[in-house]
């Protein structure tokens, strides 16, 4: 694989992405909301105490929170819910970019001239995938850094410790990119079969279902995932992504694009 | 010093199947250096498949093909670096400027920065697009887009250029502009394969024409194809329906093969119209004919097409 070709594809992808206002709004607005939302919610919820039964359930799963005051525990429980939202960015942003990019090229019929050059399909796929993956992952990371910076000002040391503990670091910096990868794979597979980016995003949106399920489990304190849990999920998502990538590469084959993509 | 092979493209028994359907089969074809070859055929005849096979975009199911001596199956990347292709639709990035579009492709072809800049300027000036170089392609007219796509196909100075339906869906003015651009290429001595179903375009631009319908039906020069269909004739306009005496006078003129009446006109079939015409006019006047017009009547490529492809203009060609 030739790096300069991948870079060329990457530059063109990004130069088109920044000209797409709809796409840019879906990339930029949610991170801003996510950076501020948890802070506001934790502030409100932190004023109240959790019901006793919930306290028992939460502390059983997170013994490291046992020494928190009632308000700290309520704030920690509330803010912990938002970790999964930081996984949504690497999930939906790459999906949006990949589907817009691939289906956009299908609709404009721009792929054939590109495939008529000496480019290898792996290079084209790599360029497109990286172009889709990086903004989503970076958005997740940057939002987290902004969130943590604000948290260091707004929260007390207990809550600041919660949002910078191992579960958050593994979730944001390891599980996030793997979720992003799975999102790109879903985008490639779905985009090869449909001709409308919105349909592709709806179909590809299935990738978000496990994240929503995780949110529900955490919000009821049925399951509060720790660092080991997020790491395990990252390994599982990564393996699933590699399996999906094989299918994606087959669908992204030069002949398949020219003769089967409709 | 080695003399380059005069054959730029050589296909031998070339075929491509999609599932059970053969799009192209048993194609034997040679395209010579500097030649403009037209690929003519109805929709679904295999023109685009042939172009894709010869540009190493898809692999053959049988047979082989070489471009500039390189086998399309063994060296697909090298083949693609030696050919330029104008696809059926321009396929430009509408949000990028003309320069950015060309620069992207220049990079994919591995051209260095100074070469890219020089060639982009050269081709944009050649196709009168230089003044619009910073405008996004989405604002261009169809003709301008097609010219920009041709510039893109030429950017890496390919040995052979494939133009797939270059004037399809263009208005007459835009089609004229694109044909002028192709004429410019032709004059520069470039090898061109022109897939079209515009017979007039093929007649005007091509050195040879290949009729394609699921394979190669026939290939020859436009003149050769016309000659094979009975050659030329002379059409004589009269003031009224020709009398039997006039008809007989025309028939006995040396060199006349046949004479037909079409209303107030005589259609005189002959292989050598310029030789026959003076004696024919003299004989008709002596027979009492009042002539209003005499003109050479050449067989059109359209007539040849219908004859060779075995279809009639009033029948569905897609059958």
Supply the pLDDT for residue A222. Answer: 66
Question: Same domain for B88 and B220?
Answer: yes
Task: Give domain status of residue B277, yes or no.
Answer: yes
Q: Both tokens of residue B40?
A: 């003519």
Supply the pLDDT for residue B319. Answer: 35
- Over residues B208-225, the mean pLDDT reads 86
Report how many domains make up chain A: 1
Contact status of B223 with chain A (Cβ, < 8 Å): no
Task: Give domain status of residue B77, yes or no.
Answer: yes
Q: Is the pLDDT of residue B230 over 80?
A: no
Of the pLDDT bands very low, low, confident and very high (cuts 50, 70, 90), residue A196 is confident
- Over residues B145-155, the mean pLDDT reads 91
Task: Give domain status of residue B139, yes or no.
Answer: yes
pLDDT tens per residue across span B15-33: 999 988 999 999 999 999 9
Question: Same domain for B86 and B50?
Answer: yes
Q: Provide the number of CB pairs (under 8 Å) joining chain A to chain B.
A: 74
Expressed as residue numbers, the domain containing A132 is: 3-259
Residue of A17, A116, A255 to mutate when probing chain B, most B C-beta within 10 A: A116
Question: Same domain for B47 and B190?
Answer: yes
**CA A157 to CA A159: how far, in whole Å?**
6
* Chain position carrying tokens 């693609």: B80
**CA B70 to CA B91: how far, in whole Å?**
27
Question: Same domain for B136 and B243?
Answer: no
CATH number at residue B200: 3.40.50.300
Q: Both tokens of residue A151?
A: 């948290």
| 8 Å CB contact of A116 and B83 | yes
Supply the pLDDT for residue A186. Answer: 86
Of the pLDDT bands very low, low, confident and very high (cuts 50, 70, 90), residue B315 is very low
Question: Same domain for B177 and B111?
Answer: yes
Instruction: Name the CA radius of gyration of chain A, rounded.
Output: 20
Contact status of B149 with chain A (Cβ, < 8 Å): yes
**CA A123 to CA B110: how far, in whole Å?**
14
Among B175, B200, B227, the domain boundary falls at: B227
| 8 Å CB contact of B57 and A110 | no
Task: Give domain status of residue B311, yes or no.
Answer: no
| 8 Å CB contact of B91 and A113 | yes
pLDDT tens per residue across span B92-135: 999 899 999 999 999 999 999 999 999 999 989 988 899 999 99
**CA A201 to CA A190: how far, in whole Å?**
8
- Selecting from B87, B94, B95 the residue whose C-beta is nearest the C-beta of A112 gives B87
Most confident of A60-64, B51-55, B204-208: B51-55
Question: Same domain for B280 and B146?
Answer: no
B95 phi-psi bin (left φ>0, alpha ψ -120 to 50, beta other):
alpha
Question: Same domain for B108 and B238?
Answer: no
Expressed as residue numbers, the domain containing B30 is: 7-227
Question: Same domain for B118 and B155?
Answer: yes
Question: Same domain for B284 and B169?
Answer: no
Question: Same domain for B260 and B173?
Answer: no
Contact B93, B101 (CB under 8 A): yes
Is the pTM higher than 0.80?
no
Residues of A in contact with B83 (CB under 8 A): 116
| 8 Å CB contact of A115 and B92 | no
Question: Same domain for B238 and B218?
Answer: no
**CA B138 to CA A20: how far, in whole Å?**
14
Question: Same domain for B245 and B108?
Answer: no
Report how many domains make up chain B: 2
User: What are the angstrom distances between the C-alpha of B179 and each of A111, B127, B158, B223?
Assistant: 25, 11, 19, 20
- Over residues A159-177, the mean pLDDT reads 85
In the sheet with B36-40, reading across from the earlier edge strand, the strands are B83-86, B160-164, B191-196, B36-40, B208-212, B216-220
Q: Is the dihedral of CA B167, B172, B177, B182 positive or negative?
A: positive
């Amino acid at each position: 694989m030739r790096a300069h070709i991948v870079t060329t594809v990457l530059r063109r992808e990004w130069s088109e992405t920044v000209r797409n206002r709809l796409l840019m709004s879906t990339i930029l607005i949610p991170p801003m909301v996510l950076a501020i939302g948890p802070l506001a919610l934790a502030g409100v919820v932190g004023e109240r105490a959790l019901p006793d039964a919930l306290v028992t359930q939460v502390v059983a799963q997170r013994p490291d929170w046992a020494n928190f005051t009632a308000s700290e525990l309520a704030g920690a429980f509330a803010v912990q819910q938002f970790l999964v939202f930081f996984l949504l960015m690497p999930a939906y942003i790459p999906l949006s970019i990949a589907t817009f990019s691939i289906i956009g090229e299908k609709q404009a019929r721009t792929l054939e001239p590109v495939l008529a050059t000496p480019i290898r399909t792996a290079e084209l796929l790599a360029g497109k995938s990286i172009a889709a993956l990086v903004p989503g992952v970076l958005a997740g990371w940057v939002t987290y850094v902004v969130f943590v910076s604000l948290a260091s000002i707004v929260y007390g040391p207990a809550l600041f410790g919660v949002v910078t503990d191992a579960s958050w670091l593994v979730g944001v910096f390891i599980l996030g990119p793997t979720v992003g990868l799975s999102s790109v794979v879903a985008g490639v597979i779905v985009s090869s079969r449909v001709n409308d980016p919105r349909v592709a995003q709806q179909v590809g949106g299935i990738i978000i279902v496990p994240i929503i399920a995780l949110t529900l489990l955490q919000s009821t304190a049925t399951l509060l995932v720790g660092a080991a849990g997020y790491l395990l999920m990252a390994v599982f998502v990564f393996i699933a992504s590699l399996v999906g990538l094989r299918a994606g590469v087959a669908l992204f084959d030069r002949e398949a694009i020219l003769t089967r993509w409709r | 010093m080695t003399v380059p092979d005069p054959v730029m493209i050589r296909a031998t028994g070339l075929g491509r199947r999609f599932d059970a359907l053969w799009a192209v089969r048993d194609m034997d074809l040679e395209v010579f250096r500097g030649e403009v070859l037209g690929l003519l055929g109805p929709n679904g005849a295999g023109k685009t498949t042939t172009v894709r096979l010869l540009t190493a975009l898809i692999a053959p199911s049988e047979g082989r093909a070489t471009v500039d001596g390189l086998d399309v199956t063994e060296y697909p990347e090298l083949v693609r670096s030696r050919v330029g292709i104008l696809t059926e639709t321009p396929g430009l990035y509408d949000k990028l400027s003309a320069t950015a579009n060309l620069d992207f492709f220049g990079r994919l072809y591995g051209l260095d920065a100074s070469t890219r800049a020089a060639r982009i300027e050269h081709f944009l000036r050649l196709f009168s697009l230089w003044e619009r170089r910073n405008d996004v392609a989405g604002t261009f007219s169809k003709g301008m887009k097609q010219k920009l796509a041709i510039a893109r196909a030429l950017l890496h100075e390919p040995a052979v250029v494939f133009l797939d339906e270059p004037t399809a869906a263009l208005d007459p003015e835009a089609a004229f502009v694109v044909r002028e651009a192709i004429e410019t290429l032709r004059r520069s001595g470039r090898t061109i394969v022109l897939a079209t179903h515009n017979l007039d375009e093929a007649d005007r631009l091509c050195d040879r024409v290949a009729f394609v319908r699921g394979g190669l039906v026939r290939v020859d020069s436009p003149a050769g194809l016309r000659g094979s269909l009975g050659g030329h004739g002379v059409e004589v306009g009269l003031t009224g329906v020709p009398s039997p005496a006039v008809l007989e006078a025309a028939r006995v003129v040396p060199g006349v093969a046949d004479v037909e009446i079409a209303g107030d006109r005589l259609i005189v079939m002959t292989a050598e119209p310029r030789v026959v015409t003076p004696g024919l006019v003299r004989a008709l006047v002596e027979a009492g004919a009042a002539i209003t017009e005499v003109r050479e009547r050449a067989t059109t490529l359209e007539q040849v097409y219908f004859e060779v492809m075995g279809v009639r203009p009033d029948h569905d060609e897609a059958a």
